[in-house]
Each structure stands twice: as C-alpha cells, then as structure tokens.
Structure 1
Amino acid sequence: MKKEFRDLLREHGRDTLPNVLLVSAECAPLSKTGGLADVVGTLPKSLAKLGIDARVITPYHRCIKDKYADKVEHMFYFYAKLGWRQEYVGIEKLVLDGVTIYLVDNEQYFGDKIYRGGNPEGEQYSFFCRAVLDAIPNLGFDVDVVHCNDWHTAMIPMLARTQYRGAKQEQIKYLLTIHNIAFQGKFGFDFVQDMLDVDSRYYTPEFMELNGCADYLKAGCVFADRINTVSPSYASEIKMPYYAEGLEGILNARSAQLTGIINGIDKKVYNPHGDALLPARYDRGHLKGKAVCKAELQARMGLEQRADVPLFAMVTRMTEQKGFDLVACVLDDMMCREDMQFMLLGSGDERFENFMRSAEGRYKGRLCAYIGYSEELSHLVYAGSDFFLMPSRFEPCGLSQMIAMRYGSVPIVRETGGLRDTVTPYNRFTGEGNGFSFANFDAWEMRDTMRLAMDCYKNEEIMGGLITRAMQADFGFERSAMEYAKHYIWML
C-alpha cells in the first residue's frame, strides 16, 4: 500500500482501503456509446493495481447478452418496487480481465437500446437506480463507496439518503461524476412520483427542481458526498452560467466538494507500437511506420498519396457542441487556398453530414468523409493523420486528443475543458508545446491556427519535435486512478 494512502487512512481511523462499486449505464467493452463506457471499463483495472477492490454494476443490455451470455453467472433475483409496480430484477455476474461486473437483468427495460430517450429512458434508469440500491446488501461485497456516473445514476444518493434511513445504503458514501452537464435527466414531478415515490417536499429549488422540472442530476449534486468532473478546467467552467446549464447555483454552493480529475486512456488498446489494426507499427523513436499508415489511409479513403501534404483529421460527432459549425464555415476557404487534405470519420446532424458529402464531391482526392463509425478505421485515422482537429464549443474532458497524441497526430484544439488541460500550445519562440490551440469559439481563429500548423509542417525539425512531445505525454489511467483513490478515502 502506498504511504500516502496509509496516512490518509490513518486520519480516517481505518487500516484498509475502501471497496468501491462503480454504477454506470454503459461499460466497455460490454456496452458502449461514448467515452463514459471507456472510463468505467478502464478505471477498475487501474484501481486494482493500487490495491482497491473496485467492481462495476451496469444494465444487462441485449448487446451484452449476445456476446457474453455463456460467461455470465446467475447470482440471485428479487422484485423491486417501482411506484405501484413490482418489477423483476435479476443479478448476474461476469468477471472480465480480473474485474467483477454485476449485471442488472430485466428484459422490459434493458433490451435493444442502451438509451431510449425521453420518459422511456427516465423509466429505464429510475428502475436501474432502485434495482442497484436494493441489490447492494446481497452482493456479497461490503461496499464503502458507490461511484455514480451522470444523471442515469444520480438519483441513487438522494434515494439512499431519503428512503433507506437506518439501512446499509444510507451509510455508504457517494461520489457523483459529471461527464457532461448538458445531459441532466429532466422529468415532470408526476412522472418521478410514479417511478420513485419521491416525497413532494423535495420538488423545490433547494433539492431537485429546475425550471419547473425534476432534475435527476441536480438531485445527485445535492445529496452526493462529493462531486467531480472529468477535468479541472471543466470543474471551473460549470460554475459559470454559460456552461452550467442552470446548475451553477448548487455547484457554487458545493464548490468545496467539487473537483476535476482528468480521464485517461487504455494504453494497451491505444498503442502504435503493438496495434494489430495498423498496417505498420511505430514508436516515437522510429516513425517510419507512421508514414506507412498515412499512405494506407490515403489509399483506402481515395486521397492522393502524397507524403508532402498535411493531412487533417477528425473522429467526431458532427454537432455544434463539437464545433462542426466552425469547420463548415471555413472548410471551403481552406481547401481552395491551401495545399492540404482533410479526413472525417463520424456522424451526427444531417445538415453537417450533407455538407461533408457535398464537399467530398468538390474536392475529390483531397477530402473524404466516412459517415458512420469504424473502430478499425479510427485507429488508422489516428495513426495516419498529421493533425487532429477538435474545435469544441465545450469539452468536459475529451479522449480523442489523448489518443491522437499517443499516435503522433498533433492536436489542434479550442481552449476549453479537458482540451485546455491536456494540450500545451506550441510556442514559436521557445519551441515548447505538443499541439496548437485557439482561445475563442471563432472560425477564423481556428483557420489561422490551422495555417500556423501548416507552416510548422513544412519545417521537419519543428514538426518532428511536436510529434515527439505529443507521443511523450502520459495519459494512462494510473494518475486518474490515484486521484479517484484519494477521493474515495477522503469520503470515508
């Protein structure tokens, strides 16, 4: 056990590390729609290296049954009270890569879609919160800390404090991680009353009311013992009205319990030196393989095979939050004036998808758009691109820029949230930095930053230094796990 852990435990009158139960709507590699799944899937493995027994509880989605049913062990079942109804809850267990994962089974709520949207999604995860709380005493795992993630699990602390008084669930400590404050889980009071029997005295601005709705994320912020976001900058930003989506009041009131912890990436999965999905491997000391990957990406996507032209890439959702309106504003100007290539992998708003299809026709051989997603192709894009563009309006943490840097694709980012915390902008006077950044959400500022990057691309020494420093950055989960471990101990 690390000495700082021993000292912290001594302060709290304990000699053993806490047992942690991570609660999440998704968990990679079992179920995934975004970065939340990667975090929940990777964090327990890193915590285990620190001596913390961290387990996961997540819905038993259809996609998990299809792939892992033969590896799942049935533990027990019971019926949970959901309003006036009694709903079946099956608890299954799966051990994957040394991590114990509990699966909440109910065919009605966890079928083909992880997220159903609207009230059906609210019912899905109201049920999940109730099922998790009722299951905890029977897991055979003495839980000290429950680590909730986003609004889908944010009602757990409130229910534990208000409906399980005197029980084990009330004594547990609760950490709430906000991965994206834009998604809060807002529902009518009648709906919440029907689902979870929440006493009407809690339907006030002091507890869970926001703009005439019951807000699940706000309830979690009120009742959790600690709150964290996924980067220090985002933790500061969400205390301001522009970013907070109405929650600035409670987050400022609880600022002493609010911190930011940068996410990490799985360095085994994202490793250019051993990535089986690449046509050639490489590391920061031997970059010939990266040139092979660039040539393969160009050939596969119908781009002119030129080593001398900078290739910009994006792997993204095509939305305004990701800054795609900035891209749409300046892309024609850039493609007409500059000798460059542009590659997009992603999907999103129909207007942006149509814009990219049209642009692909206008700049054939220089621009390509893969509308959709391919895990294999994403690895090749990270490895084969020279620059990776992330002009987000806001970005709680961002994993793509970390993956890009791991593969030597130099990031160009807007200075917000985790992008600010992970990318050090290039300084032309000192030669320091591992990427490029621009401060304002402005298309022309982004264009000028891309032009600076192209100027650097022409200088082999400068570009080589940028690639080396980008690949040297350590974004493994070890540091994140250490910070989470401290938070768990602080809450005891």
Structure 2
Amino acid sequence: MHILQAASEFYPYSKTGGLADMVAGLSCALANAGHKLTVITPLYRSTKDLLMKRSESPMQLDIKLGAESIRGRLIPYETGEGIRVYFVEQKDFFDRQGIYMENGEGYPDNPDRFIFLSKAACRLSGMLPDAPDVLHCHDWQTAMIPLLNGGRIPTCLTIHNLAYQGVCAPSKFALTNLPERYFTHKYAEYYQQFNPLKAGIISTDSLTTVSPGYAEEIVTRDFGEGLEGELSGRADGLTGILNGVDYSQWRTDENPHLKHGYCAKNLDGKERIKLDLLDFLDLEDASKSPLFCYIGRLADQKGLHLLYDVLRKWLPENDASFVLLGAGDIHLESAFRELSEELPGKVRALIQYSEPLAHRIKAASDFFLMPSKFEPCGLNQIYSLRYGTVPIVNAVGGLKDTVSPLTSQYIDGTGFVFHHHSSAEFVQCLDSAVRLFKTPNCLKNVRERGMEADWGWSEPIKNYVAIYEKLLKPT
C-alpha cells in the first residue's frame, strides 16, 4: 500500500510538538511493515541545514491562491528509513524564523501558507508515477485536502489537537478556489469565519484522533471546542488510536544524549545522570531529595498556571527541587523565570527547547509533572515511563490511557493520577510522590513497571492499516 502523508511538521526536519514525532513514528513503522511511504512537508529555514546533499532535480510548482499564482518547488529527499519526502519550498511562506509564529504571535498569513501546502499535496498526488492509495492529512494545516482532493484519492484526517482549528477571516476561503457552496455552515463556515478543521472533519473519508480517551472526550461540550456537534455527527467514524513511541530514539542504553546507560534491573546510571544534571544546574544540594520536572510547550492547555501556583507554595515547605525545559507563552515564560529567581536553591527554568537536554532532564528526574487541562495523547508521559521517571498526571485524554494509577501500597500502577484539576488533588500527588521517594524499594518497583511498559508502534499501525484497507474496499 502507498500512503502519502501531508503534515506541517516532520521530525527530525521540523518540530514544535508531538505532531512531528507522530508523523515520523507512524511513517517509519509503516515503512518497516512493508508499505510505501511518501511525506510532503514544508521546507522551513530551520530544515535546510538538516538535509544532506541531494542529487535529484526539484519539481516546479505553480499554484493558484485565489486570483494569484504562487510559484514554488518540491525538493525530493530520501530518508535513511526509505521514506520519500517532498519538501515544499516557497521562500515567502516558509523561509522564516519560526514555523507558525514569531515573538509569541502567529503569522497572519498562516491560512495562505497552509492552503499552499495542501494544494501542493494534492498536486503531488497526481504527479507521482506510483499514485498513492491513501492521502493521510494531519490537523488544521492540511485539513482542506479532503475538499481540495475532490474525491480522487481516499482521505484520512487525524486530529492532534482540537483546540487549534485555523479559524480565520472569511476572505481567506477565496484562496482555496473552491466553489462558494463549500463556504456554508455545512462545510467551512463557522460563525461567519473560515474554519479549515471543521471542513476537514465533515469532508474526510475517515477521521481519527490520537487516543481512545480523547475520542470519547471531544464529542462532549466540555472538550469539543465548539465542534462537538460535527464530531458527534460522525462519531461512528471517529477512531481514537494511541500514538506510538519510537523507542530507538527514546532509550536508556546507547543513547547519544545520555552519558550513562541504565535499565529497569540496574538503575545506577540513572542516579549518575541525576548527579551530573544537578551539577550542571548548580543544584548539588538537592542530590538526596526528589527532582521533579516539566518538559514541553509552555501553554495554558498544559495546566502550567496550576503548576506554577502549586509549586510556588509547595516547594518552600518541602525538600524537593524542580526543573522546567520549554518555551511558548511569554507570560508563562516570565512566570517561571521569576519562580527560579524567587527559589534559586530549588528551581531552574530553562526557557528553550533542546532535544539533548530533554533526554538528560527526563532521565535525571524522579518525577515528571503533566497536570494538563486536556491532553489529546501526550508523549512525554510515555517517554518518562521508559526513563524510569514516575509521571504525575491529570486523568484526561491519552494521559489516562497510558498511566495507570498507583495503588495504596504501590503494588500496581505506573504513576500518580488525579481526577479534578485542582490545587488540592495536585498537592496530594506531590506529597505522595515524596513519600514514595522515601521508600526506595517501592520506588524501584514502580520504575521497573513503567520502564517495561510497551507503548511502541506495533499495535497502532495495525489500527491505521485497518482504516486504510477499509477505505480501499469497494462500497
């Protein structure tokens, strides 16, 4: 089977979050299972340095956006995993400092940029000598593909985060060059605005999201982000498939980012990594106390206001320390910088994204904090399990699908789970984590269970292949 994936991010060439990891992981898993994989994604400024010398000639693009013709190129590239990638080169759209935003503000022409990408994907599908069997698109950035494709190729749309829908001015719909009948409440119109994700939800042949828990949540008013009606309308065709993890990247042995290796049966290397990190962070006095961490986007969705409020009161009263790695909302960045200054012996806020540091911090920490308000899938809690770092999570979406609650005597379970997004319940989990840290044998057993859990791609790709095969069956 030949699958063409269209996505705004594709690891390691571009990444702001889990979307990039999922598209890369699914592509590699499908390719390893014998399927042919082609990916189309933008050539961002940050991508160019990651591409090795190529020998193939680019393919020219001339795409209409409304009344204007925009030229670009498709840059062919072959990954080491045998995946064919076509990078969409259009300097005015993609040769920028950021992927979606700059200085905390989204680019005002994001609709133009990703309609161009979506049209390029449809154009590529007709240019390939071996036509794809399925066109798999991801999130609002490529959600117009099912309508633009015009039914030529079966489509699957995966929702990674319903909170981001690409809603914009109604005038942007003209860039699609689609008939006006598609800018109605039945398709792309949303309270007099243009909503690409809504159009995709309604028009795609198959609809998936990134965990069973999130699939159940988003058909409700609490989590449906205003589209619960459209999602409920095709609830029988909405499938929640948990994202897999590429354990060749997230491993505790022979990992280029980790100075010391370790495994579930021998955690000595983890302790050495912790000591090295504390020395690097100038927190040596914290070596005998629990180290908590957060790694990821700084966004309200992640429950970081709750995290900040709780830690500011809880840390001064407890023998524990905390390190944060991430960037995003400028107000949250400032808040955690101030917390680091307020509690210099307990808190470090690294306002950046660094893949090597993400591995080091996750391996060094004892507990990973993820108090998300909602979480479509979440990968960091799965990475933390494999690294023997016990997760503390809110029971939403993929978090409740992947972290099983610890029992009172720690005999079963892999992490601490709270069910109400409140300071009281979060503090209870933090207090319980400190008690667990003080019982080393129990902590070792909990870590061992988490590290032995398998959240790889073997099961998820079976579900995706089943969806693709169903799309290809005659109706």
| TM-score bucket (shorter structure) | over 0.9
Shift in Å at residue 429 of structure 1? Answer: 4.7
Shift in Å at residue 366 of structure 1? Answer: 2.1
What is the alpha-carbon distance in structure 2 between the residues aligned to residue 367 and residue 109 of structure 1? Answer: 39
Q: Match of 2:110?
A: 121
Q: Which of 307, 312, 315 pairs up with 1:335? A: 315
Shift in Å at residue 61 of structure 1? Answer: 2.0
Shift in Å at residue 430 of structure 1? Answer: 6.6
Asked if structure 1 preserves the Cα contact closer than 8 Å seen for 2:6 and 2:40, the reply is yes
Q: Match of 2:395?
A: 415
- Output the amino acid matched with 2:164: F
Asked if structure 2 preserves the Cα contact closer than 8 Å seen for 1:89 and 1:131, the reply is no
Q: Which moved more, 1:220-229 or 1:39-48?
A: 39-48
For 1:26-105, what aligned pairs fall within 5 Å after superposition? 26-68=9-51, 70-71=53-54, 73-97=56-80, 98-105=82-89
What is the alpha-carbon distance in structure 1 between the residues aligned to residue 91 and residue 458 of structure 2? Answer: 36
For 1:91-170, what aligned pairs fall within 5 Å after superposition? 91-97=74-80, 98-112=82-96, 113-116=98-101, 117-161=106-150, 170=151
What is the alpha-carbon distance in structure 1 between the residues aligned to residue 265 and residue 74 of structure 2? Answer: 49
Asked if structure 1 preserves the Cα contact closer than 8 Å seen for 2:410 and 2:446, the reply is no
Asked if structure 2 preserves the Cα contact closer than 8 Å seen for 1:295 and 1:306, the reply is no
Asked if structure 2 preserves the Cα contact closer than 8 Å seen for 1:72 and 1:92, the reply is no
Q: Which of 172, 185, 188 pairs up with 2:169? A: 188
Shift in Å at residue 314 of structure 1? Answer: 0.7
Q: Match of 1:348?
A: 328
For 1:11-410, what aligned pairs fall within 5 Å after superposition? 18-68=1-51, 70-71=53-54, 73-97=56-80, 98-112=82-96, 113-116=98-101, 117-161=106-150, 170-193=151-174, 195-410=175-390
> For residues 305 and 478 of structure 1, do their structure 2 counterparts lie closer, same or farther at Cα, with a shift above 3 Å needed?
farther
What is the alpha-carbon distance in structure 2 between the residues aligned to residue 326 and residue 255 of structure 1? Answer: 32
Asked if structure 1 preserves the Cα contact closer than 8 Å seen for 2:258 and 2:360, the reply is yes
Shift in Å at residue 130 of structure 1? Answer: 1.4
- Output the amino acid matched with 2:326: G
So what's the TM-score if we normalise by structure 2?
Answer: 0.95
Q: Deviations over 1:295-325 (max 9, x none)?
A: 1111111113444311111112222211111
> For residues 318 and 107 of structure 1, do their structure 2 counterparts lie closer, same or farther at Cα, with a shift above 3 Å needed?
closer
What is the alpha-carbon distance in structure 1 between the residues aligned to residue 385 and residue 33 of structure 2? Answer: 26
Q: Match of 1:443?
A: 423
Asked if structure 1 preserves the Cα contact closer than 8 Å seen for 2:390 and 2:415, the reply is yes
Shift in Å at residue 54 of structure 1? Answer: 1.8
What is the alpha-carbon distance in structure 2 between the residues aligned to residue 378 and residue 247 of structure 1? Answer: 34
So what's the TM-score if we normalise by structure 1?
Answer: 0.91
- Output the amino acid matched with 1:115: Y
Structure 2 SS opposite 1:243: coil
Q: Deviations over 1:242-296 (max 9, x none)?
A: 2111111110000111011111221111111111211211011111000001111
What is the alpha-carbon distance in structure 2 between the residues aligned to residue 109 and residue 333 of structure 1? Answer: 45
Gaps of 5+ in 1: 1-17, 162-169
Provide the aligned length of Structure 1 versus Structure 2.
466
- Output the amino acid matched with 1:198: L
What is the alpha-carbon distance in structure 2 between the residues aligned to residue 141 and residue 103 of structure 1? Answer: 18
Asked if structure 2 preserves the Cα contact closer than 8 Å seen for 1:74 and 1:91, the reply is no
Shift in Å at residue 352 of structure 1? Answer: 2.7
Shift in Å at residue 105 of structure 1? Answer: 2.0
Q: Which moved more, 1:90-99 or 1:215-224?
A: 90-99
Q: Deviations over 1:63-107 (max 9, x none)?
A: 222331622622422422221122223222100121111122222
Gaps of 5+ in 2: none
Q: Which moved more, 1:100-109 or 1:433-442?
A: 100-109
Q: Which of 448, 464, 471 pairs up with 1:468? A: 448
> For residues 331 and 430 of structure 1, do their structure 2 counterparts lie closer, same or farther at Cα, with a shift above 3 Å needed?
closer
Asked if structure 2 preserves the Cα contact closer than 8 Å seen for 1:309 and 1:339, the reply is yes
Q: Deviations over 1:158-211 (max 9, x none)?
A: 1222xxxxxxxx231100000001111112222211x11222222222112112
Percent identical pairs in the alignment equals: 36
> For residues 282 and 115 of structure 1, do their structure 2 counterparts lie closer, same or farther at Cα, with a shift above 3 Å needed?
same
> For residues 373 and 118 of structure 1, do their structure 2 counterparts lie closer, same or farther at Cα, with a shift above 3 Å needed?
closer
